[in-house]
A and B are shown apart, each in its own frame.
Chain A
Amino acid sequence: MSSVEISVEAPIEHQIQEIAYDGTEIYQPPLTLSENLSKCAARIDFSKTSLEDLKKEDDKKGDEDVKDPTQLQSSLWPWDSVRNKLRDAFTEICVLSDVLSIAKEKRYLVLDPVPQELQDTKPMVQVYARKKALSQAANVLMSGAERLRNTHSEQRNNRNDFHIELLRLRQNWRLKKVSNTIIGDLSYRTAGSKFMHPGTFEVTKAEEDPPSDGNSPSSSPAAGAQPPCPKANSALRVNVPSELQGVAYIKVITQKDQEDLCTANVNLMGHGQNITPQVGVWQKTLEFAQNVLFCKELFSQLAREAIQLQAPIPHVVVGNQIRATLLPGIQLIISLCHSTGQDPTPPGPINDHDHVLEHSLHQLLREVHHKNTHHPFPHPASGPLGPSKKHMLAGPMAADRHELLEMSKSQTLLEQIISQAQHIFMRKRTQYVLDTLARDVKDPQIVSHWNLMNSPTMSCVKINIVTHGYDTINRTSLVIHVKERSLKCICRDGRVMHLSYEPQELRDLILCQINQHQSACLLNLAKCMAWQVLSNSNHLGIGPVEPLGNASSCLLASPNGDRMIAVQIICDPQIDVKVYIARSPRQDFFPSPLVPGKFWEHLGGHFKEVRFDKLEGKNFLNKMEFLMASLTSSS
């Protein structure tokens, strides 16, 4: 069948539309070209796109052709169905484009690939996989838990917990939290300081250093026999600003013509020795830093005052040194030593006065601090807190301008320390003068008793001049008040003498007192011996001019009046005594034309000098006693 090709053609005759009863066939008029086109177009099924579909459709066309013309004819317009179908297609295209745009936008719709149906896995594999997953998760959990437990137990076992240390730090220092860091305060501002330095330090957690962990807990409770090495066993670290690191102290030197007289070092380094064992090593660091701050404040205050003060010899501030003149030729040098090195170098030689000046400087600034915070009561409800009680009373008491000016005068730190240094110097000088005199003058003994109660600028010494063995006969005592630049001597008879800082004045005064002591003693002794005092003068106006005032003298007569002793006590730089004796009337009297009667002999006469140093006796009074006794007994 396939070999024979048969062509099927449409017959070339018109289709019969109807056959009339008379047998005439009415032919359908043949379709025009446009009709044919529209018919063909109407046949297109737009819903079928593929070629196969078209082919299949071709088979069925025969049946449909029957109906189609009716539809065709029923429709108003031959292209109507085509138009409808095109419009449907257009609608579909629009929808497609919308969907595409929505899918592309990904705002409203996300397209997921639809998986194909998978190959089936065995349930046991899933179980194993899940088991493995669970065990891995459990491992993560276990390791995390282990880490937590470790840190916890470490905190519990380790005595150096950060928080414990922080608590101790908090109990001793001011701390506050600023965002994520803990800031501490070293300054003395709460104690009344007005120093501008912030004086803050930072507290951080120390990083772990494993090698020191083993020995630190064993060594730290061991009574602190040796200081534990820093940072070894502290969970806490303090960061002190670099300008406060190291060790600082204030050195005070009194210099006389470039020669050191006394030195003082203000350092509070010994202060931190007795750290209670539960306080960490940071305590020492902080104390050093605070000490540095204190020294800096002290020095800046002193330097400011040194510049402001109007001294007769101006103070000099050069670098870290203040020079002030105490007394002529004597200088006070205050210098700030700040060593930032790690190892604190031991300060230089410390004299006896070390602690005194150190303490006073320290105390003076503390006092200023104290005054800044402690205002005298009652506090005014309105008005400034500053003025002192005196000032507040000035109004009610109607003080005048002079009094107010007096009140406003206050001594600065530098003035106070200078006056203290001056006093120390004066005291040393007075001691030296008294001791050399006591050493040099053997005969009347000079005993000086220093008063134990004294103030930094005032001390007191009591001087007794006695003669050994004759204490009861006479005792010359005087009191010397040693002030800053002057001395005040109060004698027993009420005389008050003011001396300057020159040591020679004191020396002269004491020599003069010795002189008077000797003569007063002699008078008393003569009374005891029943000798008569014929004359007595403390200031003998005759004889050679003495370097120190005049010699004193007295003239004694024996009980029966036949012998006389003349004593001259010379107050040379050395006490010198000259004794003369005279006898009247002489035993052997020969009347002469010039002296006819014996009674003339009573006028007294030839004094002969006694070689006093050859006399028996331990001292002047003793010798005099012997002399008087021998002269009395012989008569």
Chain B
Amino acid sequence: MTSRALPQSKEALLKSYNTRLKDDVKSMLDNFEEIVKLAKGEGDSQLSKITQCEQDTYEMQVRAANIVRAGESLMKLVSDIKQYLILNDFHSVNEAITANSQLFRSTQVDCDKKLTTLRDEMALDLYDLEEEYYTSIYK
């Protein structure tokens, strides 16, 4: 797919999908590492211990939320990629169109055949019926 010469914008879009994926995964990993680091608790800071604990708690929550956000962003990315694929997959669209047109053509041929046979039968019958009708006294 990438071997084809894609337009500039499409190329950029695909690249942006790639970077989004990497960024999100990286963000998940980084945030998780940070949480683990915080859990180790090697605070050499000058803050008081209580404050330090509060800060760590808050930071862990924020980092956990970051991980969740990255996960949802990944879901969004999946949905975006699906949408992109659906909208730009001309190969399958062409297949669908071909299948549809074949279906309709065969239906058309079918209907035409049926109509033709119906017409022929009706013509035969109608001829007799007309003959009968015009020679009868009921008209």
B57–A144 touching, CB < 8 Å = no
Do A167 and B64 touch (CB < 8 A)?
no
Tally of contact residues, B, Cβ under 8 A: 44
> A447 to B134, Cβ gap below 8 A?
yes
B109: chain A residues within 8 A (beta carbon): none
Q: Which of A34-42, A65-73, A128-136, A579-587 sits within the interface?
A: A128-136
**Residue A622 interfacial (CB < 8 Å):** no
Measured in the bound complex, the distance between the Cα atoms of B131 and A438 in whole Å is 12
A-side binding surface: helix, strand, loop or mixed? helix
Q: Which residue of A lies closest to B50 (CB)?
A: A121
Contact residues in B for A132 (Cβ distance below 8 Å): 57
A163 to B75, CA, bound (A): 13
Q: Which residues of B contact A143 (CB under 8 A)?
A: 68
Among A132, A145, A171, chain B packs the most CB atoms within 10 A around the CB of: A171
Chain A: interface size category: 35 or more
Instruction: Please name all residues of chain B whose beta carbon is closer than 8 Å to the beta carbon of A129 when the two chains form the complex.
Output: 50, 53, 56-57
Contacts of B38 in A (CB 8 A): 130, 133
With A118-B48, A130-B41, A133-B57: A447-B130 Cβ-Cβ less than 8 Å = yes
- Which of chain B's residues have a CB closer than 8 A to the CB of A152? 75
Residue B4 CB within 8 A of the other chain = no
CB-contacts of A111-133 with B (<8 A): 114-115, 118, 121, 125-126, 129-130, 132-133
Q: Is the CB of B93 within 8 A of A171?
A: yes
Asked if B53 and A133 make an inter-chain contact with CB atoms under 8 angstroms apart, the answer reads yes
Q: Do A134 and B39 form a contact, CB below 8 Å, given A140-B68, A144-B71, A439-B139? A: yes
Which A233-251 residues sit within 8 Å CB-CB of chain B?
A: none
Among the 9-residue stretches A49-57, A174-182, A625-633, the one with 4 or more Cβ atoms under 8 Å from chain B is: A174-182
Which of A136, A163, A435, A450 is close to B61, meaning CB atoms less than 8 Å apart? A136
A429 to chain B, nearest CB (A): 18
Cα(A152)–Cα(B65), bound, Å? 19
Closest to B138 in A: A439
Chain A min CB distance to B128 (Å): 10
On whether the beta carbons of B127 and A449 are closer than 8 Å, the reply is: yes
Whether the Cβ atoms of A144 and B134 lie closer than 8 Å is no
Can you offer 6 A-B residue contacts whose CB atoms are under 8 A? A125-B53, A126-B41, A141-B68, A148-B71, A171-B92, A171-B97
Partner-A contacts on B (CB < 8 A):
35, 38-39, 41, 46-50, 53, 56-57, 60-61, 63-65, 67-68, 71-72, 75, 79, 82-84, 86-87, 92-93, 96-97, 100, 119, 122-123, 126-127, 130-131, 134-135, 137, 139
